[in-house]
């Protein structure tokens, strides 16, 4: 009986870990995704996931045209602009044109409506520089 219980515990933990890893979405940030498109050498990648009612963001960006200005998660469909709903808090590099997102600093409680927007792919991320204050790079967060 103990062996069976130990096996079931291991099995549950293993698949919970696999499930959590598979419920992460990779987002590519670039100027082509901006509305309108921005010609820039800047780029980035982030990983986004939801645990319970909390959204987490981890990732990086680099090569902004000017100093970092802001970064946000917005509500909006692909190809449309929308309002910012969460302000991201990156760790900025010494040259102020690159940064990283730590999930412990970038976690946000989701309302039911925001959770639905996430599931429907209606959220996106922008990173802005002083040359492009509305955003220099963007990536749509697609659901799992």
The DSSP line for 117-140 is: HHHTT-EEEEEEESS-TT-SEEEE
- What's residue 27's pLDDT? 97
How distant, in Å, are the alpha carbons of 6, 7, 25, 105 from that of 1?
Answer: 9, 10, 39, 44
d(CA 85, CA 112): 14
**Dihedral, CA atoms, 9, 13, 16, 18, nearest 10 degrees?**
-130
- What's residue 132's pLDDT? 97
d(CA 23, CA 3): 30
Determine the 3-state secondary structure of 32 from DSSP: helix
- What's residue 143's pLDDT? 72
Closest CA to 45 of 25, 65, 64, 17: 25
- What's residue 2's pLDDT? 55
* Per-position pLDDT tens, the chain of length 144: 555 544 444 444 444 333 444 589 999 999 999 999 999 999 999 999 999 999 999 999 999 999 999 999 999 999 999 999 999 999 999 999 999 999 999 999 999 999 999 999 999 999 999 999 999 999 999 976
All domains in the chain, ordered by first residue: 25-141 (2.60.40.200)
Task: State the pTM of this model.
Answer: 0.83
């Amino acid at each position: 009986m103990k062996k069976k219980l130990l096996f079931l515990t291991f099995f549950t933990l293993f698949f919970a870990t696999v499930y959590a890893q598979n419920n992460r979405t990779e987002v590519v940030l670039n100027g082509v995704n901006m509305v309108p498109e921005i010609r820039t050498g800047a780029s980035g990648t982030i990983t986004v996931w939801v645990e319970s009612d909390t959204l987490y963001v981890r990732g990086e960006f680099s090569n902004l045209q000017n100093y970092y200005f802001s970064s946000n998660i917005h509500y909006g469909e692909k190809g449309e602009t929308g309002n910012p709903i969460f302000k991201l808090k990156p760790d900025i590099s010494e040259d102020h044109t690159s940064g990283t997102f730590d999930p412990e600093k970038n976690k946000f409680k989701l309302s039911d409506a925001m959770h639905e927007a996430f599931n429907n792919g209606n959220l996106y991320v922008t990173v802005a520089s002083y040359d492009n204050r509305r955003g220099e790079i963007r990536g749509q967060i697609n659901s799992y």
